[in-house]
Amino acid sequence: MKKELCVAATAAAIVSVAPYLVRAEQAMSNGAEPNVIQAQDADKQAKEESVTLEEVKAQAIDEISHMKELPNSVKNEYLDRVNKATTTEEVETVKKEARQDQVARIQLKAKKENAKLLLAMKEYLFPNERSNYLDRLEQSGTEAEIDGLLAEAEQFSEVNKTIILKIRGALNEIDTLAYLSPEQKEDFKARVEELGSEKQIDNAVLLAKKANIQALKDIEKEPLKKAKEVLRALRQLPEVTDRSLYAGQIDVWNAIGDYLDAYLEPFDKLDPETDANLTNDELDYHHHRLYDALHYGELEYIARDLNQKLQQFPDNQELKDLVKEMFYGLYPSLDDSGKGGVIAEFINRAIYPRQKRFNELYRILSGTPLTPLVPAQPIPKEEAPDSSTPLTPLVPAQPIPKEEAPSQPEKPEVLTRQEVREEALPFQTITKENPSLLKGEKRIVTKGEAGIRTIVEEVQIQGDALLSRRVISDTVTKPAIDEVVEIGTKEASEEIAEQSDMDTPDGSSSEQGGQEPVLLKQYQDKNQARQVLPKTNVAPSLLSTIGIALAGLVGLQIQKRKK
């Protein structure tokens, strides 16, 4: 190989000097001086080399100027070196370096793009760490630096994997908490994403669970209160027993009546501090049971309440039909219960409208008036002028001095507001016979308590004038508890007769003996007729009853003797 190169170089040298040798030979044949000929040849050669150098420089400058990957500052350095080169070999050397620089930069750029993709694929880097690595990647100047940076990112990714998986699980768990508001969820998730240890993450999730239970308690505060009131009022009323009207209700109540307190208690005792680790299914179960207690308790209360009212009008067929429509058939079971279950829809559709109609009819029958609403007052209209009034003859128009028109009084603004008023619902007195009490004695079993009826009205007024009044809602916010009174039915005639034989003066017993049963019966009938008396817990004693009866008998006997 070296021999071939030497031969090629020798051939090139001979070719380059051949023209000069030919000229020298010609000059010598012409008689010219050899020194002059050499000088002319050197000058000519220098000019040719200078032209060649400029051509090579122009070519190098054009090539370097089109190298897009080279920064301008680097291009300028290469171009400056080309311009300063004195030989074509120097120019070729600079051009070769520029080409190599261009290739190296293209390779570095490709490696950076690949490194960006690898960093984006590392799912266990925190956002701030990923940003830091991308910034450092842009500043990298060699492939070795890029390789080192990727190795470091991989190491941190493995370290972060446990924490990031924990954070993701925590975020998903917070999303499943059904009773947190969207704002609460976002707040807890933002806190979790900033944490760096498993213990901190666990504590944040625990706080979210506690807040979830508290949110559920807050949402269902009023239904829980209502359920307690319904069950408390329910215990004050006797059970329904007429299967011809309440067959379905009786069957349902026999099946679940004893469990309603147990349904209500777990929800009532939910505590964010002690029950935070309850699962969603367990919370949903307690939530559904709250509405089971409310719905089934309310149905039983309505049945018992209407039954007490029906006893006062036992022959009214319309009241019976309404009760039978509500409670004779079986209604949805516990499988369809819960806050938005079929049972809730059944109460709204089939019970409340009939209950309202029953109570309206009951008020009419019992003479309990509703508070009349004030009708809207019409706005008085200005009367048109009487056509019989003679018209004033026209007078030529006279110039009127300009004056400011009197200001018209502003018409009062029409205001709309809501008025809320409460009315007392009177309780009913229900009497029951008790064969163990003496006839005429009373005993209060359940003390009556008035209910509360809340009426919300929308009122429109203009100044002092009432334009309209409209009822928005009329709700029984607290049911009345009827008073249950037991009346004795035990006969005391024999005891009274024995006592009167012992206490009556001589000579009067024979006259009174024939009339005593009649008079006693009259007294008892009067006493039996007094079913609406001042409410008292004091029952008259046997001796008081006997004394009153004897006094009445003696008084009547004295009157007859006077006649």
Task: List, in sequence order, every residue forming a beta bridge with 424; answer none if it has no partner.
Answer: 452
Residue 532's SS3 state is coil
Residue 445's SS3 state is strand
pLDDT at 330: 78
In which band, very low, low, confident or very high, does the pLDDT at 527 lie, cut at 50, 70 and 90?
A: very low
49-104 pLDDT, tens per residue?
A: 888 988 998 999 999 999 988 999 999 999 999 999 889 899 999 999 999 999 99
> Residue 464 maps to which CATH number?
2.20.230.10
Note whether 441 and 538 are within 8 A (CB): no
Which tokens hold the place of 296? 């089934």
**CA gap 232, 252 in Å, rounded:** 19
pLDDT at 176: 94
pLDDT at 510: 40
DSSP-assigned letter for residue 347 = I
Picking from 440, 467, 484, the residue at the C-terminal end of a domain is 484
Asked if residue 217 has pLDDT above 90, the reply is yes
Based on the fold, state whether residues 434 and 557 are members of the same structural domain.
no
Based on the fold, state whether residues 529 and 442 are members of the same structural domain.
no
In which band, very low, low, confident or very high, does the pLDDT at 403 lie, cut at 50, 70 and 90?
A: very low
- What average pLDDT does the structure give for the chain? 78
Based on the fold, state whether residues 247 and 314 are members of the same structural domain.
yes
Angle at 418 between CA 414 and CA 423, to 5 degrees: 140
Based on the fold, state whether residues 232 and 359 are members of the same structural domain.
yes
**CA gap 350, 161 in Å, rounded:** 58
pLDDT at 389: 43
Based on the fold, state whether residues 472 and 510 are members of the same structural domain.
no
92-132 pLDDT, tens per residue?
A: 999 999 999 999 999 999 999 999 999 998 888 888 889 99
7-27 pLDDT, tens per residue?
A: 554 555 555 555 655 555 555
In which band, very low, low, confident or very high, does the pLDDT at 402 lie, cut at 50, 70 and 90?
A: very low
Asked if residue 285 has pLDDT above 60, the reply is yes
292-329 pLDDT, tens per residue?
A: 999 999 999 999 999 999 999 999 999 999 999 999 98
Asked if residue 190 has pLDDT above 90, the reply is yes
- In-domain check, residue 349: yes
**CA gap 490, 311 in Å, rounded:** 23
Work out how many domains the chain is built from and give that number: 3
- In-domain check, residue 543: yes
Output the CA–CA distances (angstroms, integers) from residue 88 to 54, 82, 85, 102, 129, in the order listed. 9, 9, 7, 21, 52
pLDDT at 33: 58
543-556 pLDDT, tens per residue?
A: 455 655 565 665 55
Give the helix/strand (H/E) hosting 489: strand 483-490
Residue type, 499: Q
Based on the fold, state whether residues 421 and 522 are members of the same structural domain.
no
* Residue 337 domain boundaries: 220-366
Average pLDDT over residues 175-202: 93
What percent of the chain has a predicted confidence (pLDDT) above 70? 71
Angle at 475 between CA 474 and CA 481, to 5 degrees: 130
DSSP-assigned letter for residue 351 = I
318-371 pLDDT, tens per residue?
A: 999 999 999 998 776 655 566 777 888 889 999 999 999 999 999 999 885 544
Based on the fold, state whether residues 439 and 533 are members of the same structural domain.
no
